[in-house]
Structure 1
Amino acid sequence: MIGKKAKRGLIVIVAALLTLAGAPAGYAQQSNVNASASKYGSDKNEAIVYDFYNSTAPTSYYYDPNDRYQGWNGWTQLTPSLDNHALKLAISGANPQFYSEDQLHLNASIYKYIRIRMMNPNPTESASISWTTTADTTWNTAKSKAFTIRGNDVSYYEYVIDLSQTASWSGTIKQLMIKPEIGVGSGNIYIDYIKLDTENLNPGALTYNFDYDMNGWGVTGGYGGATVSATRGIMTIANTNAAPYVYSPDWLLFDPTAVQYIRIKMKNRSAATSGKIYWNTVADASFNEAKSASFAINPNDSEFTEYVVDLSQTAAWTGGGTVRQLRLDPERGVASGVEEVDYVILDTINPSDLAYTFGSGTADWTSDDSLSAAGGALTVPNTTADTKIFSPNNLNVNASLLKYVKITLKNNTYSNVGQLYWTTTDDPDFDERKSQTFIINEMDSGYTTYTIGLNQNQYWRGTIKQLRIDPSSMQPSGSSQITRIAVVADGDTSAQNGQVREGFLDYTVEDTAAARSIRRADPCRGNIRRTRYGIP
Structure 2
Amino acid sequence: MKKALLSGIAAFAALQLAAEIAVPATGWQISKDAVNPAAVNDVFTATSSGSDTILKITDFKQFPAGANDLLVFSMRFPEGKKTMFQMFWASKEQPNYSEGNSIRQAITGTGALETYCVNLSGHKGWTGTITNLRIDPVSIPKNAPEAFAIGEFKIIDAAAGMPVPARNWVSATNCKFTGSGDNIVTGEFIGKDPFIGAALPAKIDASTLKAIEFELKLPQGSAPVGQLFWMPEGQKAYSEPCSARFKIPADGEFHKVTIDLSKKAEWKGSIVALRFDMTDKPAQSGQFQLRNFIVK
TM-score of the two chains, using structure 1 as the length reference: 0.34
Alignment of 1:54-453 (within 5 A): 159=17, 204-208=19-23, 210=24, 213-214=25-26, 216-218=27-29, 222-227=30-35, 228-269=37-78, 271-299=81-109, 301-318=110-127, 321-334=128-141, 335-349=144-158, 350-351=162-163, 359=174, 375-378=190-193, 398=209, 403-407=213-217, 409-411=218-220, 440=252, 452=254
The 1-side partners of 2:250 and 2:193 are apart by 19
Distance 1:486 1:278, change over 3 A: same
The 1-side partners of 2:246 and 2:103 are apart by 44
Given that 1:250 and 1:324 are in contact with CA atoms closer than 8 Å, whether structure 2 keeps it comes out as no
* Cα displacement (A) at 1:245: 1.5
* Cα displacement (A) at 1:236: 1.2
TM-score of the two chains, using structure 2 as the length reference: 0.56
Distance 1:287 1:146, change over 3 A: closer
Task: Look up the equivalent residue of 2:28 and give its one-letter code.
Answer: W
* Cα displacement (A) at 1:239: 1.3
Partner of 1:364: none
Would you say how many aligned residue pairs link Structure 1 and Structure 2? 227
The share of aligned pairs that are identical, in percent, is 15
Given that 1:245 and 1:330 are in contact with CA atoms closer than 8 Å, whether structure 2 keeps it comes out as yes
* Cα displacement (A) at 1:241: 1.7
Distance 1:439 1:479, change over 3 A: closer
Task: Look up the equivalent residue of 1:328 and give its one-letter code.
Answer: I
The 2-side partners of 1:260 and 1:224 are apart by 27
The 2-side partners of 1:420 and 1:325 are apart by 47
Distance 1:263 1:430, change over 3 A: closer
Distance 1:231 1:285, change over 3 A: same
* Cα displacement (A) at 1:462: 6.4
The 1-side partners of 2:82 and 2:277 are apart by 41
SS of the aligned residue for 1:317 comes to coil
Given that 1:398 and 1:462 are in contact with CA atoms closer than 8 Å, whether structure 2 keeps it comes out as no
The 2-side partners of 1:245 and 1:267 are apart by 16
Distance 1:275 1:479, change over 3 A: closer
Question: Whose helix proportion is higher, 1 or 2?
Answer: 2
Task: Look up the equivalent residue of 2:32 and give its one-letter code.
Answer: G
Given that 1:269 and 1:338 are in contact with CA atoms closer than 8 Å, whether structure 2 keeps it comes out as yes
Look at both structures and tell me which one has the larger radius of gyration over its CA atoms: 1
SS of the aligned residue for 1:316 comes to coil
Unmatched segments (≥5 aa) in structure 2: 1-5, 176-188, 195-205, 228-243, 265-275
Unmatched segments (≥5 aa) in structure 1: 1-125, 128-144, 152-157, 161-203, 361-373, 380-395, 423-427, 441-449, 472-477, 491-536
The 1-side partners of 2:285 and 2:107 are apart by 32
Task: Look up the equivalent residue of 2:101 and give its one-letter code.
Answer: K
The 1-side partners of 2:44 and 2:173 are apart by 39
Given that 1:358 and 1:484 are in contact with CA atoms closer than 8 Å, whether structure 2 keeps it comes out as no
Partner of 2:180: none
Distance 1:484 1:245, change over 3 A: same
Alignment of 1:476-515 (within 5 A): 489=293
* Cα displacement (A) at 1:266: 1.3
Given that 2:246 and 2:259 are in contact with CA atoms closer than 8 Å, whether structure 1 keeps it comes out as no
* Cα displacement (A) at 1:256: 1.8
User: Deviations 1:117-175 (Å, cap 9, x if unpaired)?
Assistant: xxxxxxxxx99xxxxxxxxxxxxxxxxx8676659xxxxxx949xxxxxxxxxxxxxxx
